[in-house]
């Protein structure tokens, strides 16, 4: 939950809207305690026009983009 909050705060500060998908969402839906679901990354969907802004914001915070798929 802390990792997700950190990332969402980063997105808010960068003024980039994102949709969180996959593990970060299912952890809250499928587990009684979200801490039971190991979260090592955050999967999101971003508008194409916001990708560079978000990537710069991520790197400025010392984080990294693990994978970028322009089609998905």
> Is the pLDDT reported for residue 20 higher than 90?
no
Give 24-47 pLDDT, tens digit per residue: 666 667 767 767 666 677 788 899
Give 50-71 pLDDT, tens digit per residue: 999 999 999 999 988 877 777 7
Question: Which parts of the chain are beta strand (E)?
Answer: 18-21, 43-46
Q: What is the pLDDT of residue 34?
A: 66
Whole-model pTM?
0.70
Residue 39 burial class via C-beta count within 10 angstroms: exposed 0-12, middle 13-18, buried 19 and up: middle
| Residue 53, SS3 per DSSP | helix
Q: What is the pLDDT of residue 26?
A: 66
């Amino acid at each position: 939950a802390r990792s997700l909050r950190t990332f969402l705060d980063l997105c808010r500060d960068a003024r980039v809207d994102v949709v969180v998908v996959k593990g970060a969402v299912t952890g809250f839906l499928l587990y009684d305690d979200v801490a039971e679901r190991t979260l090592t990354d955050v999967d999101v969907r971003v508008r194409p026009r916001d990708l560079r802004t978000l990537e710069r914001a991520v790197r400025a915070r010392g984080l990294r983009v693990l994978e970028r798929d322009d089609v998905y």
